[in-house]
Amino acid sequence: MKELILGGARSGKSHFAETCAAESKLNIIYVATAQAFDDEMQQRIQHHQQQRPVHWRLIEEPLNLLSVLKDHSGNNTCILVDCLTLWLSNQLCSEEHKDKVEKNIENLVSELPQLPGKIIFVSNEVSMGIIPMGEINRQFVDEAGRLHQRLAAVCDKVTLMVAGIPRSIKGK
């Protein structure tokens, strides 16, 4: 089972994803893609850490997501990836990865259906606002939109979080 949970900032998507993971009764691996480049981001990371059960395995991987999924997916495992938009931002800001974004998305989307176990992706829905100013901002919104569309096509379930309320978009 592959699931995509989308929502705006503070929409409740991480909490909902963590609840879904816990309800799976599988061994849970939490893949964190965030990097703390400033104090505010460090506080966000600490908040998320405090919300998670301590027995969940944590893997911090800002760039090489597919490798982690391939190495750790299994029939008795639920992998929760939080979040895809940070993974995408990390790639766009990385000298080594910024020219490989499209290929990395293609590889993720094409290999995901073959991976065993449950995988839950959390991602920020950023396409409901105005077109942002600045080239890198527009590129990010465009790439996030493409990523979400392609991933939603191969996921069994897609949920949109609005004000803490899950709305099923695909699957049950």
Which of the following is catalytic: 15, 48, 72, 97? 48
Q: What is the pLDDT of residue 11?
A: 94
User: Shortest CA distance to 21 belongs to which of 79, 101, 86?
Assistant: 79
Q: What is the pLDDT of residue 38?
A: 76
pTM of the predicted model as reported, rounded to 2 decimal places: 0.92
Place of tokens 């089972």: 1
Question: What architecture is domain 2-170?
Answer: 3-Layer(aba) Sandwich (3.40)
Active site residue 48: yes
Query: What is the average pLDDT across 116-141?
Result: 90
Q: What is the pLDDT of residue 51?
A: 78
To 10 degrees, what angle do helices 13-23 and 39-51 make? Answer: 30
Q: What is the pLDDT of residue 130?
A: 77
Q: What is the pLDDT of residue 77?
A: 98
Identify which has the larger pLDDT, 124 or 35.
124
123: helix, strand or coil: strand
* Residue extents of the structural domains in the chain: 2-170
